[in-house]
C-alpha cells in the first residue's frame, strides 16, 4: 500500500467541507466507517488511492 502525504486534519476538513459524515464518505470510498475514523485519528496512514478518490469526489461535487 502506497501512503499518501495527506495529513489527518486535511482529510477530516475535506470530508466536512463536502458535508459528509464518516459513514457517507466511507460508502463513497468503498471503505468502512471505522477506517475513515482511523484515518482522521492518525491511527492508520491514509492510502494514496483513498487520497486520490477523495480528490475525485471533491471535483465531482464542485461540478
**Averaged pLDDT score across all residues of the chain:** 95
Q: Would 1 be classed as within a structural domain?
A: no
pTM of the model: 0.90
| Domain encompassing residue 36 | 8-62
Contact yes or no for 25/15 (Cβ under 8 A)? yes
Sign of CA dihedral 24, 33, 59, 42: positive
pLDDT band at 4 (very low <50, low <70, confident <90, very high): confident
In sequence order, which residues have a C-beta less than 8 Å from that of residue 32 and are 6 or more positions away? 26
Residue 53, in any domain of the structure: yes
Domain CATH for 35: 1.10.260.40
Quote the number of domains for the chain. Answer: 1
Number of H helices, E strands in the chain: 4, 0
Q: How confident is residue 7, by pLDDT bands cut at 50, 70 and 90? A: very high
Where do we find the cell 500500500? 1
The answer to whether position 2 is within a domain reads no
Amino acid at each position: 500500500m502506497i501512503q499518501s502525504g495527506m495529513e489527518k486534519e486535511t482529510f477530516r476538513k475535506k470530508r466536512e467541507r463536502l458535508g459528509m459524515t464518516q459513514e457517507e464518505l466511507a460508502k463513497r470510498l468503498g471503505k468502512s466507517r471505522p477506517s475513515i475514523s482511523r484515518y482522521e485519528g492518525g491511527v492508520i496512514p491514509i492510502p494514496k488511492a483513498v487520497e486520490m478518490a477523495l480528490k475525485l469526489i471533491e471535483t465531482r461535487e464542485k461540478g
